[in-house]
Amino acid sequence: MNSSVKKSSVLKAYGYAWVTLGFFLISLVGHWLFGWFAYVSEQQAHAQPILMSDYLVEMMRDTLENWQSEFLQLLWQVGGLAILLYVGSPQSKEGNDRLEAKVDEILRKVDPQNGERTIQTLDEDYAGRHTDTRHAHY
């Protein structure tokens, strides 16, 4: 596989992440650039010296404050939910358990002779992959 095909597939596979990173970097650079203009203007209005160290402290404080109040909150809401769904929190299993119960009931109705055996075989095949909390016979 040549490198241009590999590079293209990486760009495509992570397209959303690249666009998000681009927006993040543009907004971060914009925040710091316009923060500099505001800092210089405020220092000049008060006849104070323009010190890079003061600007850096002020901008780090503002950036971390914005990061904490907006980005981390959203990150936890989206990322935390995704992690909980991935590891299989009880909330994420509810939909799967309901779906499996419905499929089991369909198998019983479609093949009354072998449906239960098919369900048991499938459960044995996938026993190590999930916790079986269903099988309530309706």
**Where is average pLDDT lowest: 82-86, 115-119, 123-127?**
82-86
Among 77-81, 110-114, 122-126, 129-133, the minimum mean pLDDT is found in: 129-133
Residues, the chain, total? 138
- State the average pLDDT over residues 49-59: 96
Tell me what pLDDT residue 95 has: 66
Between 32 and 88, name the one with better pLDDT: 32
Residue given tokens 């419905």 in the structure block:
102
What's the pLDDT band for 137 if we cut at 50, 70, 90? very low
Q: Which residues contact 135 (CB under 8 A, 6 or more apart)?
A: 101, 104, 119
**Residue pair 35/58 in contact by the 8 Å Cβ criterion:** yes
Amino acid residing at 138 = Y
Q: What is the C-alpha to C-alpha distance for residues 110 and 37, in angstroms, rounded to an integer?
A: 72
Torsion of CA 33, 36, 41, 46, to 10 degrees: 170
CA–CA dist 61, 111 (Å, integer): 66
> Two tokens at 118?
């098919």
Amino acid at 117: R
Full-model pTM: 0.50
Query: What single DSSP character describes residue 111?
Result: -
